[in-house]
Amino acid sequence: MSHHPQITPRSAPELTPSVEELEAQERRLIFRRFTCDDAWTLGSLLVELARERQAPVAIDIHRAGQQLFHAALPGATPDNDAWIARKRRVVERYGASSYLVGARCRAKGTTFEESSRLDPEVYAAHGGSFPINIADVGVVGAVTVSGLPQLQDHRLVVEALEQFLGD
């Protein structure tokens, strides 16, 4: 695998975020609405950020059980799509980012696989899927990236959401 020096967002430290920091991201990154056009705009922004970094990722946006956006960049594989589905199911089930769900388990000294008792072929609490949370409505979908180490997948999604929401 080739070295990708610009994969991580430029402003993000390499420290692992705490559960509290992850929860604060989710409180901050709330939508007022989320349309099909919003999915296209957000997905296109993610593609642009990933291309800048030559990140070999697949990108997916789902809302209410419908895929609104999907892209596979050079280097992404069908395995990334399987990871996307597993991470997205965690967001749909828990209403929180896949990275936060895993971090909460680690903070309790266990793993998601041990504590959830869910099939790991169906659910993966690995970073990269973030809830589409609409104010006064709740979680209606997920934005997911797969192809980088899990913290980098998570950070790429958060960076795009921050830009999209003007945060």
Note down pLDDT in tens along the chain; length 167 residues.
344 444 444 444 468 899 999 999 999 999 999 999 999 999 999 999 999 999 999 999 999 999 999 999 999 999 999 999 999 999 999 999 999 999 999 999 999 999 999 999 999 999 999 999 999 999 999 999 999 999 999 999 999 999 999 95
Q: Single out the residue of 11, 1, 141, 8 nearest to residue 64, CA to CA.
A: 141
Do 48 and 156 contact (CB within 8 A), yes or no? no
Across the strands, what pairs with 146? 58
Do 129 and 144 contact (CB within 8 A), yes or no? yes
Tokens of 23: 């929860």
Q: Is the pTM of this model over 0.75?
A: yes
pLDDT attached to residue 15: 81
Q: Residue 92: which residues within 8 A CB-CB, separation 6 or more?
A: 139, 142
Cα–Cα distance for residue pair 74/3, rounded to 1 Å? 14
